[in-house]
């Protein structure tokens, strides 16, 4: 190969019609972007479904969705050394700071955001395997949740759209 | 910039169909735009509550409100917004109200 040609990106004129967003992490930075994407999709007229699995289920857990925290350990983007991040209260402090920023911008907190997304007509689903794994009941999860489904049902529902994993 | 004729008056719109100059819009154009973009007509008082808000916010702040803002600034809930303007309420309401596309992620 002596002659290299730049790769021309294909011109894509197609519109995204449907997105299925999987939320697998239980940190603020794991959940919030997924909520922004789901909400943004609905506001653009795109069909959107959110699937909560593993620790991501905290976003739809009645007792936990008001206490989602920023990860201060193993999170290089935060620019706080992990050794500092392990200090008791570090995560709570960082979370307070982020929550203040969110409030300042008049963005919703996680619990309010999830409710709002449900109102936009997006579907909210929890993963059956995770519900079993963590020994949860339907009652542990918020009323807005549409259903607890299997991975097979998820793929059926996601068919024909884009799948985003966060 | 494409031009189209609404209520017999030529107006300037961008490629997506949003008004370039909100001053060119008149109330009479709203139902015509609504029909064109699939907003259920006839427009009701509830539609007009949103349309009026879109315009007043735009002229005051330079950008139209997002869905969250609309529901906070009026008594129209998110759920109702998606009934009034299905397939993207802020976007469609902005189009009917003759203002540019609202900026904002949430």
Return the pLDDT at A1. 53
User: According to the model, what pLDDT value does residue B106 have?
Assistant: 87
Looking at the domain assignment, is residue A114 inside a domain? Answer: yes
- Residues from chain A that touch B91, judged by Cβ atoms under 8 A, are 43-45
What ipTM describes this predicted complex?
0.91
Mean pLDDT confidence for B38-47: 96
Q: Scanning every residue of chain A, which has its alpha carbon at the shortest distance from the alpha carbon of B83?
A: A120
**Per residue in B2-37, pLDDT tens?**
899 999 999 999 999 999 999 999 999 999 999 999
Look at chain A and report how many structural domains it folds into. Answer: 1
Domain assignment present for A152: yes
Q: For residues B59 and B55, give the distance between their C-alpha atoms in angstroms, rounded to a whole number.
A: 6
Q: Is the pLDDT of residue B46 over 90?
A: yes
Q: Which of A34, A41, A42, A43 to mutate against chain B (most B CBs within 10 Å)?
A: A43
Q: CB contacts < 8 Å between A and B, how many?
A: 35
Would residue A99 count as lying in a domain?
Answer: no
The arithmetic mean of pLDDT across residues B90-100, rounded, is: 97
The whole-chain average pLDDT of chain A stands at: 93
Contacts of B68 in chain A (CB under 8 A): 108, 116
* Catalytic residue chosen out of the listed positions B8, B42, B105, B106: B105
- Domain span at A128: 21-66+108-165
- Residue B86: is its pLDDT beyond 70? yes
Q: What is the per-residue pLDDT across A51-106, written as a single tens digit (0 to 9) for each? A: 999 999 999 999 999 999 999 998 899 998 989 999 999 999 999 999 999 999 88
Measured between beta carbons, which residues in chain B are less than 8 angstroms from residue A39?
Answer: 67, 106
CATH number of the domain bearing residue A127: 3.40.1260.10
Per-residue pLDDT tens digits for A124-142: 999 999 999 999 999 999 9
In a domain, A72, yes or no: no
Residue A4: per-residue pLDDT? 73
Task: Give domain status of residue A5, yes or no.
Answer: no
């Amino acid at each position: 190969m002596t002659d290299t040609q730049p790769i021309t990106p294909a011109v894509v004129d197609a519109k995204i019609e449907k997105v299925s967003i999987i939320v697998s992490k239980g940190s603020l930075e794991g959940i919030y972007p997924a909520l922004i994407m789901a909400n943004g999709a609905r506001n653009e007229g795109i069909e959107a479904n959110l699937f909560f699995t593993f620790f991501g289920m905290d976003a739809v857990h009645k007792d936990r969705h008001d206490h989602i925290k920023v990860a201060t350990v193993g999170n290089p983007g935060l620019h706080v050394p992990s050794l500092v991040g392990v200090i008791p209260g570090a995560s709570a402090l960082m979370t307070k700071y982020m929550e203040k920023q969110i409030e300042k911008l008049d963005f919703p907190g996680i619990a309010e955001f999830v409710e709002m997304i449900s109102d936009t007509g997006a579907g909210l689903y929890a993963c059956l395997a995770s519900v079993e794994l963590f020994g949860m009941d339907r009652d542990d999860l918020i009323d807005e949740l549409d259903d607890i489904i299997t991975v097979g049902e998820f793929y059926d529902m996601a068919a024909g759209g884009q799948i985003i994993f966060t | 910039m494409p031009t189209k004729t609404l209520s017999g008056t030529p107006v300037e719109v961008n490629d997506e169909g949003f008004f370039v100059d909100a001053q060119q819009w008149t109330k009479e154009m709203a139902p015509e735009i609504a029909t064109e973009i699939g907003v259920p007509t006839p427009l009701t008082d509830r539609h007009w509550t949103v349309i009026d808000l879109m315009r007043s916010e735009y002229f005051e702040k330079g950008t139209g409100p997002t869905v969250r803002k609309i529901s906070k600034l009026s008594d129209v809930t998110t759920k109702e917004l998606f009934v009034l303007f299905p397939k993207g309420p802020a976007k469609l309401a902005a189009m009917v109200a003759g203002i540019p596309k609202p900026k904002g992620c949430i």
